[in-house]
């Protein structure tokens, strides 16, 4: 059972990775300057008040002691209490996670569609002006970072031609019947296409801003490997069978050419999730990233720890999914 073995091995390395991340984050945010307690109290609070509150949050203990207490809690599913909101970190973080997941996955799908279309069109009309135009567009998409694309999109489709919403996740006045925070997904399941359209109109630009650089990477790499694949013997043999260019590309070349791209998409997708931090801020999108920035500004130590740990867990999960997909797409790996 190779898949099972991969899974078990991955589970082990994941635990080690997460433990490492936990230690680093825990120590770093306690070493950097900035006192969370001082930020909570009104100006003019006495030394005694500060000391009392510090003790209440356990921040008077040594870092190893604090870490031990925190880990003991985490192992029981208690990630502590947010200093700023006084709500359990786990509830806060899991409440925001769906928003970020939906945004990242939407961006990934957009990037695959845009990049895939660019690569296929470029391969179909390779050596001509169309391919040149695609290369130029790819280069431009790649050399501008996602947050700048966000600003450009806001100017274009939020200000000059206001077709999309530039802020938030959903229009606040709407009455939401949702049981979960997966708004996009749940609105579809409940067949509330009115809500779905509103959510997409909010999500479209941040997702596109995240998608554009990744689309360029996918487009370039996939086109490169498609063109190489098109010269292989089995593609030539398929041509002699009577298949036209487009069918040869889709039927013979695409699947084999997609494999190297897939690995890269996995790595790049984790970068994209990292990119949500700034993009969510830019579009006031109520996701994890936006929450992370607030947590850092407020020195909300337990919340920062929870968010970072969750991000780390997402990254390892993405890598695992890519590996499994790779095994599914490449028959030569299935029995290896």
Partner 1 sequence: MSALVIRDLSVRLKKGPPLLRRVPLDLAAGEVRGLVGESGAGKSMIGKAVLGILPPSVEITGGEILLEGTDLLRLPPKERRRRIGATCALIPQDPLTALNPSHRIGPQITDRLVDILGWTRPAADARARELLAEVQIADPDRVLRSYPHELSGGMRQRILIASAFAAEPRLIVADEPTTALDVTVQKQILRLIAGMQARHGTAILFVTHDLGVVSKVCQRLSVLYSGMVVEDSTVADFFAAPRHPYSAALLAATPKYTDPAAGLNPVPDAVIDAVRAEVAAFDRGAPHG
Q: Does residue 263 interact with partner 1 by CB under 8 A?
A: no
Cβ distance to partner 1 smaller for residue 248 or 318: 248
Q: Does residue 256 interact with partner 1 by CB under 8 A?
A: yes
Which of 18, 313, 324, 329 binds partner 1 (CB under 8 A)? It is 329
> Within 13 Å and on the Cβ side, how many CA atoms surround 218?
28
The b/e string for 7-28 (b: 16+ C-beta within 10 A; e otherwise) is eeebeeebeebbeebbeebbee
Least CB distance from residue 266 to partner 1, whole Å? 19
Question: Pattern 108-127, binding to partner 1, x per CB under 8 A?
Answer: -------------------x
CA dihedral in degrees (62, 67, 68, 71; nearest 10)?
160
Residue 156 phi/psi, 5-degree rounding, is: -70, -55
Least CB distance from residue 325 to partner 1, whole Å? 13
**100 vs 79: CA distance, rounded Å:** 20
Q: In sequence order, what DSSP letters do the residues of 52-109 get, joined into one string? A: HHHHHTTTTS-HHHHHHHHHHHHHTT---B-TTT-SBHHHHHHHHHHHHHHHHHHHHH
Q: Cα 30–35–40 angle (5° rounding)?
A: 135
Residue 88 phi/psi, 5-degree rounding, is: -60, 135
**232 vs 29: CA distance, rounded Å:** 54
**331 vs 336: CA distance, rounded Å:** 9
Which of 23, 136, 237, 317 binds partner 1 (CB under 8 A)? It is 237
Q: Does residue 332 interact with partner 1 by CB under 8 A?
A: yes
Q: Tell me which stretch binds partner 1 (CB under 8 A): 144-152, 172-180, 247-255, 266-274.
A: 247-255
Q: Does residue 325 interact with partner 1 by CB under 8 A?
A: no
Q: Does residue 129 interact with partner 1 by CB under 8 A?
A: no
Q: Tell me which stretch binds partner 1 (CB under 8 A): 51-59, 201-209, 307-315, 324-332.
A: 324-332
Number of residues this chain uses to bind partner 1 (CB under 8 A): 21
Cβ distance to partner 1 smaller for residue 172 or 244: 244
Q: Does residue 234 interact with partner 1 by CB under 8 A?
A: yes
Q: Does residue 140 interact with partner 1 by CB under 8 A?
A: no
Cβ distance to partner 1 smaller for residue 190 or 255: 255
By residue count, the chain amounts to: 336
Cβ distance to partner 1 smaller for residue 42 or 244: 244
Which of 252, 303, 316, 319 binds partner 1 (CB under 8 A)? It is 252
Least CB distance from residue 234 to partner 1, whole Å? 4
Going 24 to 26 to 27 to 33, the CA torsion angle's sign is: positive
Q: Does residue 236 interact with partner 1 by CB under 8 A?
A: yes
Which residues form the interface with partner 1 (CB under 8 A)?
127, 232-234, 236-244, 247, 252, 255-256, 329-332
């Amino acid at each position: 059972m190779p898949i099972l073995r991969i899974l078990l091995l991955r589970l082990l390395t994941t635990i080690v990775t997460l433990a490492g991340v936990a230690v680093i984050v825990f120590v770093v945010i306690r070493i950097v300057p900035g006192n969370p307690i001082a930020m909570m109290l009104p100006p003019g609070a006495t030394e005694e008040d500060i000391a009392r509150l510090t003790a209440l949050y356990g921040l008077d203990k040594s870092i190893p002691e604090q870490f031990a207490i925190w880990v003991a809690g985490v192992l029981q599913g208690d990630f502590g209490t947010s200093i700023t909101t006084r709500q359990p970190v786990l509830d806060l973080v899991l409440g925001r996670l769906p928003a970020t997941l939906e945004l990242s996955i939407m961006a990934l799908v957009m990037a695959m569609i845009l990049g895939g279309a660019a690569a296929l069109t470029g391969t179909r009309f390779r050596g001509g002006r169309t391919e040149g135009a695609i290369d130029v567009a790819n280069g431009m998409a790649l050399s501008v970072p996602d947050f700048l694309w966000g600003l450009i999109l806001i100017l274009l489709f939020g200000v000059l031609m206001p077709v999309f919403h530039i802020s938030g996740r959903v229009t606040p006045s709407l009455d939401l019947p949702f049981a979960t925070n997966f708004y996009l997904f749940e609105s579809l399941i409940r067949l509330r296409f009115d809500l779905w359209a509103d959510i997409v109109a909010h999500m479209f630009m941040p997702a596109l801003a995240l998608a554009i650089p990744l689309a360029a990477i996918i487009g370039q790499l996939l086109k490169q490997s498609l063109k190489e694949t098109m010269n292989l013997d089995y593609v030539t043999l398929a041509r002699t069978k009577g298949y036209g260019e487009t069918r040869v590309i889709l039927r013979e070349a695409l699947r084999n050419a997609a494999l190297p791209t897939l690995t890269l998409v996995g790595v790049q997708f984790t970068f994209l999730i990292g990119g949500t931090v700034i993009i969510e801020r830019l579009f006031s999108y109520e996701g994890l990233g936006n929450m992370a920035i607030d947590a850092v500004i407020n020195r909300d130590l337990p919340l920062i720890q929870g968010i970072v740990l969750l991000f780390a867990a997402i990254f390892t999960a993405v890598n695992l999914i890519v590996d499994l997909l790779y095994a599914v797409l490449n028959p030569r790996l299935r029995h290896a």
